[in-house]
Chains A and B, each alone.
Chain A
């Protein structure tokens, strides 16, 4: 058997460590599905969180004896991901869960993988090849809904600054275009500044600082940011604004941003300004990091012969000041009851993405996203 011979070679080569793995794998080789995860650039919060959740799901008791998961990183290079997916197919993959670096560049290799009977699941971003399964939110809806919220908050009139994502990607294009269409319908809404935020709090700060070199906070009435509301509020506090004077911001679902949405004065363990309740006006949306875990779950279902739709559109996680609610421990049960933000004492990184709840993935909660530990 091809697979077994590879295990033998592997253990020969890598000695004790690999042989321990080899023994475990070859014992169950008949029942376990070999599934690969091909990640993109690992050096950012979202990717690491999504990878943790995938690993946690694979380690959950319902999946541990079904799935043999191997995680590989392709970096930002689409060419490498093509090579990697090829190697995975040759490595005997039954299914490949992939964060696609490009929606189109992988089409050929995904097609050839499908032709060999490998199921390919893309999470968060899409793959346009029809044989691939896609799991993501509706990006246009995200852009539209947040822009509409901002227009409503400003009563259809005011100067706004827009901070976009990574130029040249479909996700950024869809969100930004949808939002701009909304703004265009309201002639009194003026975009007075626009910058590329690269979906990073650090870049958002640098870009906002550049814009504020020639403008003051008093000239800006609202913010539309794909990532960076937490940072924008922190900067307003530094500029001497009071919590009540913070301008409305439509932005991403970072935990820091959601803590700021809680009513000012709320007791929260571990909170320290700017990572503290401020009563900031905000709509918080996110591309949820659980999408990778859900993709893995669907992949197992597909391998077990269940019918899985080619496209799974995730419900857009939206949190406003009215619906924001603090979690005590962050278990899945608790999130099911409606909480959606975590204490700074549990999540010390304010840029961490808080939209980790899905009714479809009871296997993973806060510990999955933080350290890769599944729920019981």
Chain B
């Protein structure tokens, strides 16, 4: 997020150290606090044995988080981390020989790191050399790796030598020091050494401002490339560690680590967007999140409340880390105070005389500018450049579908399916897209969809009459969810990823409590007809979708709200100084996103005829992917809704093509990743100089 954080005053000695490492220090303090808490409430004294378990339990996340932190420091983003861990796990488990008397720890560790680095080099090539957006490249890599992992091993099994487990889970000094903190310690020492070198400085420089870094002679391309290779190495090591810990292979073991890894990085005080923070804090962050498991257990928090408790802990940990004079919360309070003072003095803009102070223009001025307007393609060259690739690929995919499967272009059923299946992501793309345009990210989409769907189905329970009041109520609730997100982000200064991730946990808890684990009720006939019926061969949701697209284009392109969204994304400080009500706009953007998610919840309920827990889980990553494939910049400020729509149609058409074939799932995942990667090749950033 490109936020104008108030620069800490450079002091001397200790002061300077404290202000620079505040995030890390606070994460460390929270960690110690939680450790004391666990010790206090758990059975018996905190023994060496407990310490050993805790340290090895969090080690995989901690090591992977170190890699992710390095990427984030350089201004990047890596979604392939979890997939790399799975890949290394299955590669080791499938290639070790169970009959061998002993296994070489050094050799296999290096092999794991090498696999990770190779993936890192793949990512780095596309991101650094071809200047493509990290989020799309690593997302494609994630799909490709998931496929490759399943090709290596299609079900859990395999064998990891006992020596590896004995080494990584054993003791460095028996009875005093377990091995896992030593491994992490060595990794952090390596980082501290690296940070002191010229290369370390360039990572921070590139993350803070790539243009400025390039201007003073930093090789931005090489730095970025090496960052991904290093990070890949860390994920590789994490994969080796989890292999040692589990003693076997499982193709799905690493995937769920991804989101908690980001949370660990942010809890550890590293700023998303780069330039600030460091891996030491992330290690603390990973352990903080891991210890939550123990705390929930000793407090005997009921299963339904556990995601709520986790969400609260996440928010509190981050809030604790941001309590200081320089924090957003503090500056918001100060701003509120001075606003109050200005109101008393009658100096607020709204209290001033509202006369028109514009200069008089000569009549006819407007007409002249119109006649000098450049032609359409010149005016929209930027939008076209970024939005067209998705449509070109879409046409290619449809043509391939026609030749491979037949029954596509002339088959109305094909277009009905394509548009109905696209409608969910098309709606989500407006919400997620607006959030991304402001430089944020909304991770609360899955359970906003789930909760809205479940509550709607429960209230409607098959009656069209109930739909009349249930629909507005559910959508109002969605707006309220977005309002909470927005307030947390704007006024409490919590980073969008953490805030929305925490909200997602809270919503999941509410959904479980509301449904008691079994969602009741079903969609009304009208809603079901809307999503699955046919009028003159067309599903009713399709005209709605066309109207929605028009609305979205007008909202983002032709209204003051849309201009403000782009303004904030291009530069928060600049937007503030040019008089945009940044706070209000951001809250509205998050409300828009939750509203769209709620609407999708309603549509999915109509489509499926019922609501189910977890119905939104499959829509989070695609909602981000379509926005970026459609040419939007993940750091905000650039993108057009029509481009995102192209992304939606492309990904849906591609999935339909793959579903029509009988290729194995692994091959499909690889093809999907490759096509997405190919589609965004054309979105390469221009060269820095």
Contacts and interface: CB of A to CB of B under 8 A. Distances in A.
B655 interface: yes
Give the secondary structure class of B's interface.
helix
Interface stretch (A213-221, A243-251, A296-304, A311-319): A213-221
A371 B401 contact: no
Contact of B522 (A173, A193, A215, A348): A348
Contacts of B255: 76
Given A78-B250, A79-B60, A104 B660 contact: no
A213 B303 contact: no
A49 B252 CA distance: 24
Q: Of B293, B414, B521, B532, which is in contact with the most chain A CB atoms at under 10 Å from its CB?
A: B293
Contacts of A203: 618
Instruction: Name, among A3, A10, A104, A173, the residue most crowded by chain B CB atoms within 10 Å (CB to CB).
Output: A104
Interface in B377-425: 401, 405-408, 411, 413-414, 416-418, 420-421
B156 A349 contact: no
B62 to A, nearest CB: 11
B518 A48 contact: yes
A214 B411 contact: yes
Most chain B CB within a 10 A radius of its CB, from A75, A83, A198, A352? A83
Interface stretch (A66-74, A323-331, A333-341): A66-74
B407 A214 contact: yes
Given A49-B518, A84-B293, A169 B156 contact: yes
B247 A104 contact: yes
A234 interface: yes
Contacts of B469: none
A92 B253 contact: no
A49 B517 CA distance: 7
Given A104-B157, A170-B155, A214-B405, A87 B297 contact: yes
A106 B615 contact: no
Interface in A203-227: 203, 205-207, 209-216
B311 interface: no
Interface in B584-603: none
Most chain B beta-carbon neighbours within 10 Å: one of A9, A47, A49, A74: A9
Interface stretch (B10-18, B225-233, B344-352, B604-612): B604-612
A196 B297 contact: no
A90 B50 contact: yes
A78 B243 CA distance: 12
Contacts of A191: 662
B660 A107 contact: no
B299 interface: yes
Given A13-B41, A86-B53, A349-B519, A173 B155 contact: yes
A205 B248 contact: no
B256 A75 contact: yes
Given A108-B247, A210-B660, A214-B414, A173 B43 contact: no
A214 B57 contact: no
B608 A105 contact: no
Given A48-B518, A205-B607, A43 B246 contact: no
A182 interface: no
Nearest to A104: B248
A79 B61 contact: yes
Contact-residue size bin, chain A (C-beta under 8 Å from the other chain): 35 or more
Interface centre among A49, A88, A103 (most CB of B within 10 A): A103
A192 B58 CA distance: 45
A205 B250 CA distance: 28
A376 interface: no
Contacts of A281: none
B413 A212 contact: yes
A231 B522 CA distance: 13
A202 to B, nearest CB: 5
Most A-side CB within 10 Å, residue of B40, B43, B408: B43
A9 B299 CA distance: 10
A43 B508 contact: yes
Given A5-B44, A43-B512, A86-B53, A72 B659 contact: no
Interface string A232-244: 0011001000000
A9 B246 contact: no
A234 B57 CA distance: 46
Contacts of A87: 53, 293-294, 297-298
Interface string A168-207: 1110111000000000000000011111101011110111
Contacts of B609: 231, 234, 274, 350
12 contacts: A2-B43, A44-B613, A73-B307, A86-B53, A91-B42, A105-B253, A108-B245, A108-B246, A167-B150, A168-B155, A203-B618, A209-B417
Given A73-B307, A78-B253, 16 more contacts: A10-B298, A73-B306, A75-B256, A87-B293, A104-B249, A107-B248, A108-B165, A168-B250, A169-B156, A173-B155, A202-B615, A210-B421, A213-B414, A214-B411, A349-B519, A350-B610
* Interface pairs A-B: 4 shortest CB-CB: A48-B517, A213-B417, A104-B248, A210-B659
